[in-house]
């Protein structure tokens, strides 16, 4: 498809397990973002990738969170030793250009993560 694709759509796991979330951006989009959205709340910025530049990791809440992106393609967000407070929807977005504010971000449907 032409949109941002995320997998899995839902993930239920036990506290303490590691999880890996995947994002396929729109082809040709150089900027890729990960956000976390808790129930009824806004989007919390996690990390930003722009081409081959060093990622902006300023939003990652702890060292249990990490993300990778190969070139301008797929990105994975990994959460190690999951905690119950990690339960949320994790959204990925991509945009063309340099990721400036005026470039619309195109979002995937998210991964709904539930930690038991």
Partner 1 sequence: GQSLEQPSEVTAVEGAIVQINCTYQTSGFYGLSWYQQHDGGAPTFLSYNALDGLEETGRFSSFLSRSDSYGYLLLQELQMKDSASYFCAVGSARQLTFGSGTQLTVLP
Residue 105 interacting with partner 1 (CB under 8 A): yes
Residue 42 interacting with partner 1 (CB under 8 A): yes
Nearest to partner 1 of 17, 57 (CB atom):
57
Nearest to partner 1 of 9, 78 (CB atom):
9
Contact letters for partner 1, residues 65-104 (x by CB under 8 A): --------------------------x-x----xxxxx-x
- Give the total residue count for the chain: 116
Residue 48 interacting with partner 1 (CB under 8 A): yes
Any idea which residue has 């959460």 for tokens? 79
DSSP code per residue over the chain: --S-EEE-SEEEE-TT--EEEEEEPPTT--EEEEEEE-TTS-EEEEEEEETTSPPB-TT--STTEEEEE-TTS-EEEEE-S--GGG-EEEEEEEESTT--TTSPPEE---EEEEE-
Residue 52 interacting with partner 1 (CB under 8 A): no
Residue count at the site for partner 1 (CB under 8 A)? 25
Q: Which residue ranges make up the site for partner 1 (CB under 8 A)? A: 4, 33, 35, 41-45, 48, 50, 56, 91, 93, 98-102, 104-110
């Amino acid at each position: 498809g032409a949109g941002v694709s995320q997998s899995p759509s839902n993930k239920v796991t036990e506290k303490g397990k590691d999880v890996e979330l995947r994002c396929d951006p729109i082809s040709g989009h150089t900027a890729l973002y990960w956000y976390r959205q808790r129930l009824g709340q806004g989007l919390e910025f996690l990390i930003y990738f722009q081409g081959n530049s060093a990622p902006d990791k300023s939003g990652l809440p702890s060292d249990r969170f990490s993300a990778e992106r190969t070139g301008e393609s797929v990105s994975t967000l990994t959460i190690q030793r999951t905690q119950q407070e990690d339960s949320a929807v994790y959204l990925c977005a991509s945009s063309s250009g340099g990721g400036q504010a005026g470039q619309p971000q195109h979002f995937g449907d998210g991964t709904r993560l539930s930690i038991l």
